[in-house]
Amino acid sequence: MSENLLELRNVSKVFRIGGLVFGTRLVAVDEVSLSLPAAEPSILSIVGESGSGKTTLARIILELEHPTSGDVLIDGHPLFEKGGAGLKGRDYYRAVQPIFQNPFEAFSARKKVDKYLFGAALRLNIAQNRKEAREIVAEVLESVGLDLARVEGKYANQFSGGELQRISVARSLIPRPKLIVADEPVSMIDASLRMNIVNLFLELKERYKVSFVYITHDLSTAYYVSDYIGIMYRGSVVEYGPSEQILTDSAHPYTELLLDSVPTVDHKWERGVKLPDIELNEYQAQACKFAKRCKYVQAICERTIPPMVRVSAERQALCYKPIDFDPNATVSQRESLESIKTES
């Protein structure tokens, strides 16, 4: 077994938008590196506002999109390396399962939803016959709080969004995956039911020893369930590490801003974070993308892209501030920061 269940190494995705002549490059995912240890199942939340590159990153992990550069390793197997063996075909589809944003798009209106469940069990050779498939389907449905008798024979439109998303979760469990990638799985569901589904991930993590990449624009839903959090801003992961460290002592000014807008006990959960729309030049600037909104901004932030700074053993932030403001910064950290400042 590899040390990491999931590892992203300098993953970038560049889209060309517009025509060939006047077109421009859009860096949707910008040099993202992070890893999820294999030792314990865990929940990694990727949090960022709309347009920050979360879905593109999820699609790359799900092998639905090729990165422009960089690599993704699942259990030590590189997915995109030229000539690499990767985790091809059936093995990959058993190890990594998706849950999408809109459960009504995940199931055709003309096919009974139980067909998807029995199909998954039989097609992936998980069940040897229909009887076994029934047992497996009944068990995964029970694990998401649903009864086979209640689900059988019905079409997607006979369920609520919340129920249908639970059925998507049940389906994703059938191949006994190691990793489930859920892209905004609760954003189309009634606000009052969202935490039920997110909390379900916690239960399933323990019961099935499955890890989750939980993608959300809403830090408040990630708050209680995450073991690790990656904060995305304009394609970059600007801070990454164990969630309690990030939530109690954020290193990146953008994380600080997000945390300031997270509802507390007496506020409603729905209150989201509203930031201005992205300007294209922010994707392209040779500077910190957050500089214009940062209350700690220094001249250097407008001239260079900050390095990923190791803030603690497991935590990193794409920012000069943790070194500048940290009384415990090492001599070599200070020296490298000074040399960047004088060079630029």
Under 8 Å between Cβ of 96 and 179: yes
Stretch that binds ligand ADP, among 53-61, 127-135, 172-180, 243-251 (CB under 6 A): 53-61
Q: Is 236 in the site for ligand ADP (CB under 6 A)?
A: no
Residue 70 burial (CB count, 10 A): 17
**Which C-beta is closer to ligand ADP: that of 124 or that of 275?**
275
Least separation in angstroms between residue 53's CB and ligand ADP is 4
Q: Which does 28 bind (CB under 5 to 8 A by kind): ligand ADP, Mg ion, none?
A: ligand ADP
Angle at 315 between CA 73 and CA 310, to 5 degrees: 100
**Which C-beta is closer to ligand ADP: that of 45 or that of 56?**
56
Expressed in angstroms, the distance from the first to the final Cα of the chain is 44
Burial 154-175 (b: 16+ CB within 10 A, else e): eebeebebbbbbbbbbbbbbbb
- Measure the CA–CA gap between 96 and 213, rounded to whole angstroms: 10
Q: Which does 106 bind (CB under 5 to 8 A by kind): ligand ADP, Mg ion, none?
A: none
Give the residue, chosen from 51, 177, 241, 306, that forms a contact with ligand ADP under the rule CB under 6 A.
Answer: 51
Question: Among residue numbers 9 through 28, which ones bind ligand ADP (CB under 6 A)?
Answer: 15, 17, 26, 28
The residue ranges that bind Mg ion (CB under 5 A) are 54-55
Least separation in angstroms between residue 96's CB and ligand ADP is 18
Stretch that binds ligand ADP, among 46-54, 69-77, 86-94, 135-143 (CB under 6 A): 46-54
Tokens 């059988």 sit on residue: 152
Under 8 Å between Cβ of 120 and 174: yes
Q: Is 50 in the site for ligand ADP (CB under 6 A)?
A: yes
Task: Report which secondary-structure segment, H or E, holds 213.
Answer: strand 211-216
- Residues in contact with ligand ADP by CB under 6 A are 15, 17, 26, 28, 48, 50-56
